[in-house]
Amino acid sequence: MKKGKRILAAFLAVLMVVAIMPTSWATKKVKAATETKVYTLNANDLEAVAQGTKADGDVVKAGTDNFFSIICSAKTKFDASNKSFSDGFEGTQRINFGEGTTTAKNAIRFTTEGTATVTVWWACGDAGREVTILDKDGKAVATTSEGLAKNAMAISTLTVPEAGTYYLGNTPKSNYIFKVQVSDEVEIKPTYKEVTTVLNANDLESVAQGTKADGDVVKAGEDDFFSIICSAKTKFDASNKSFSDGFEGTQRINFGEGTTTAKNAIRFTVESAATVQVWWACGDAGREVTILDKDGKAVATTSEGLAKNAMAISTLTIPEAGTYYLGNTPKSNYIFKVAVTHTVEVTGGDDKPERTAWADVATPVITSAVQDGANVNVTADASVGYNGADKVVIVMSDAAGNEVKRLMSDNEAENVTKSFTPSESGTYTFKAIISRDGEEDKVSEVVNVDYALPLSAPSISSATSMGNGTVSLYGSQLRKLLHTMYMLMEQRLALQQRQAMTLQD
């Protein structure tokens, strides 16, 4: 008996705890985000209809986006009637069904996506008549209770409780409807888009080794998407690397050690599975680029097998949304650029406007191509960014049309300048190419540059007497001098020939 009492007491104690438990601990249903769409039917805008010109069940589409369907009968007319309502609305024409409403005739049909408020500007056909809303089964879900006298006016508000198709009209007989407005509470359905965010080490402020402490963070990339978690050995230092896609790296992220979630890592958070591209150079044989999850477990690692200082553009895949840490294993490599592509949810006004159509993006134009010392500096007008191209590439080719070098930029800008250093004198051509994923490339007109290789003072490494007053000279700069003189003579002869042909014509 005592044991039974103890069990009962324990049970009652549990009930007391549950009773005083905070209600915030309970599971709550989160209401989806909504917006209100407003649709208006103004009888003033309808084409007049005389009684007898419509048959039972004939439909007239009307209102905002043809949201309303006026289901007529043989007695229906849209006729002139002037009424001034209390809110200032001036009615000049009315919907006069001539009978009471059913779902088959004498009704204004509309469909809502959610709970809706319906406002009706109307005049009473006779005492005891009201405005009503029927559901698809003909059951009244809302009815006014204005109690108006004949021809008296009202602006009445009714509510439909949920999404569905409804029929607005009169009960038990006809009234005169001048205007209807439906405010539909619509759930905002999320939309999604794929975005790519780039970390370009060229854009970072340089950091010398020893100026950062373990765990110091440098924010980088668009909207500070990336957090570079430094260590005492971290440095952002100069290093020139030309990658296979045309990207020119001039500065690298050099952690100096392997990666953990606490230091020597590039941290970022994605909202979905993601693709990560890394432009990098190998610190030493056997080293790779890796991505860790929040628990420090590797979820993706390259298998390039590079030699020391060899370069690669590697692609890794992240399986799901989360926070990740990109870096090196087992020791440091050199990271020049990172691009993370994932799908993000966009709702309401947070979405960017639709990207400018590719057809409306201007074809690139090379505006300048001039020799400056040993370099040829080429400038092109080329729109790169959300409303332009994904990237621009400038291509240098020799006189025979063989591609010599291409340089790429994906920085958001309206123009780009790239410097080329030809290895020998001659005529070179340059063109700019812009591209967008899924679209055909746009290519500029070609621009020619006659390039003369600059010479330093000749360096003669040997001089040999050949007899008869002849001396044989040898030197690397001398070879370049002779080659340049020959090329310039060829160019001069070609110019003279063109001028002579012009005179003959």
Query: What is the length of the chain?
Result: 505
Q: Which helix (H) or strand (E) holds 265?
A: strand 265-270
Eight-class DSSP state of 494? H
Partners of 380 in the beta sheet?
A: 366, 416
**pLDDT, averaged across the chain:** 87
Look at 261 and 493; give whichever has higher pLDDT.
261
399-433 pLDDT, tens digit each? 999 999 999 888 788 999 999 999 999 999 999 99
Eight-class DSSP state of 313? E
CA distance 482 to 199: 47
Of the chain, the end-to-end C-alpha distance in Å amounts to: 129
Amino acid identity, position 365: V
Q: Which helix (H) or strand (E) holds 154?
A: strand 153-160
Nearest to 253 by CA among 273, 283, 222, 276: 283
Q: Can you list the positions of beta strands (E) in 162-206? A: 164-171, 176-187, 191-200
Average pLDDT, integer, range 357-382: 95
The CA–CA distances, whole Å, from 392 to 379, 383, 420, 501 equal 11, 8, 15, 39
Q: What are phi and psi of 45, to 5 degrees?
A: -85, -5
Look at 385 and 502; give whichever has higher pLDDT.
385
CA distance 18 to 236: 58
Contact of 377 with 369, CB cutoff 8 Å = yes
Neighbouring C-alpha atoms within 13 Å toward the C-beta of 210: 0
The pLDDT of residue 40 is 94
The pLDDT of residue 185 is 85
CA distance 184 to 34: 10
470-490 pLDDT, tens digit each? 655 555 455 555 666 666 677
Eight-class DSSP state of 295? T
The pLDDT of residue 447 is 96
Please tell me the least confidently modeled range out of 65-79, 102-116, 488-502: 488-502
Average pLDDT, integer, range 323-341: 97
The CA–CA distances, whole Å, from 28 to 23, 24, 268 equal 10, 8, 31
Please tell me the least confidently modeled range out of 4-18, 70-84, 91-105, 468-482: 4-18
**pTM strictly above 0.85:** no
